[in-house]
Amino acid sequence: MKELLIDNKEVLYKKIKLYKTFLYKNTMFKTNLDDEECKAIVEALNIKKRKKRIEYIYDYCCNRIDKFYEGKNVCGFTNNKCIIQQAPNCKYKNGCCRLCIHQSSTGCKTKNLTCKLFYCSSVTQKYEVIKFKDLKILKMFSLRQKLMIKDSFFATREQIIFDLYIGSIILFGIRTAIRETISLTKLAAIKYKEKKIK
Ligand code: SF4
Ligand code: SF4
C-alpha cells in the first residue's frame, strides 16, 4: 500500500473528496497535524469499507457534539422543562423531544446526529452551538448524504446510517414518511391511553 502524508489542514479540506475516491483505495494516509478533527478525517480515509467509514464519521460527530455540551445546560432544563416550556401555562415537558417515540425517562434511547445539531433560536441567541459547517469531517459525505443528515429527526442511529449507506433520496423520502406516520400513530395511542387512565 502507498503512503501519503497529510501535513496541511487546508489542503486536506480541499482534497477530501478526491482522497475518498477509488484512486486512493490503496493509499494509507498519515498525518503529523496536531488537530483532533484532521486526525479523525485521516482515520476515516483509512477505513476502506464504505459502511464502516460512514459509521465512523457518524459516531465521531455525535461524540464530538456530546463532548462539547458535556456539563452544560444550554436548554436551561429545570424539572424536565426547557426554557421554552417554563413559560406560564405550558403543559409540555422534556424539551422538543416530547413528540418522539425514542424518548425515555433517561433521555434519548438512540444517537441521532440531526437532533444533536438542532437548537432553537432561544438557545442560539445566547450560546455558541456546534453547527453543521463546524464538523469538517462531514465534507466526506456527498450532497445527498448531507441533506439526509440535515433532515433525519426522530430516527434511530441505525436507520440514519442505513439511509446514508444506500444514498437514495427517493428511498430516504419514503422511509421518512413511513417512519413519521408510525411514530405519530404510536404517540396518538399513548396519549389516548393516558387520557383514559385520567
Ligand atoms: S432546543 Fe429549544 S425547544 Fe428544544 S429543548 Fe432546547 S430550549 Fe427547548
Ligand atoms: S431521536 Fe431526536 S427527537 Fe427523538 S428522543 Fe432522540 S434526540 Fe429526541
State the Cα–Cα distance between residues 145 and 91, nearest whole angstrom.
37
How many angstroms separate the Cα of 39 from the Cα of each of 20, 28, 61, 75? 15, 13, 13, 31
**pTM score:** 0.92
- CA of residue 96 to ligand 1 center, whole Å: 5
Going from the first residue of the chain to its last (198 residues), give the mean pLDDT of each consecutive group of 10, the final group possibly shorter. Answer: 94 95 95 96 97 98 97 94 93 88 90 97 96 96 96 95 96 92 84 71
- CA of residue 94 to ligand 1 center, whole Å: 9
SS3 108: strand
At residue 192, the pLDDT reads 78
* pLDDT tens digits, one per residue of 4-41: 999 999 999 999 999 999 999 999 999 999 999 999 99
β pairing state of 107-108 and 103-104? antiparallel
Q: Name which residue sits closest to atom 7 of ligand 1, judged by CA.
A: 75
Domain residue ranges of the chain, discontinuous segments joined by +: 49-197
Number of C-beta neighbours around residue 119 at 10 A: 18
DSSP assignment of 24-74 equals GTTEEEEE----HHHHHHHHHHT--SHHHHHHHHHHHHHHHHHHHHTT--T
At residue 15, the pLDDT reads 96
Smallest CA-to-CA distance from 112 within 60, 149, 73, 69 is with 149
- CA of residue 106 to ligand 2 center, whole Å: 12
Proximal ligand: closest to the CA of 75: 1
Q: Name which residue sits closest to atom 3 of ligand 2, judged by CA.
A: 97
Proximal ligand: closest to the CA of 122: 1
| Candidate of 72, 74, 123 to mutate for ligand 1, largest count of ligand atoms within 8 Å of Cβ | 123
At residue 198, the pLDDT reads 63
Which atom of ligand 2 lies nearest, measured to the CA of 155?
Answer: 1
Q: Residues near ligand 1 with C-beta < 6 Å?
A: 75, 82-84, 95-96, 119-120, 122-123
- CA of residue 95 to ligand 1 center, whole Å: 5
Number of C-beta neighbours around residue 163 at 10 A: 24
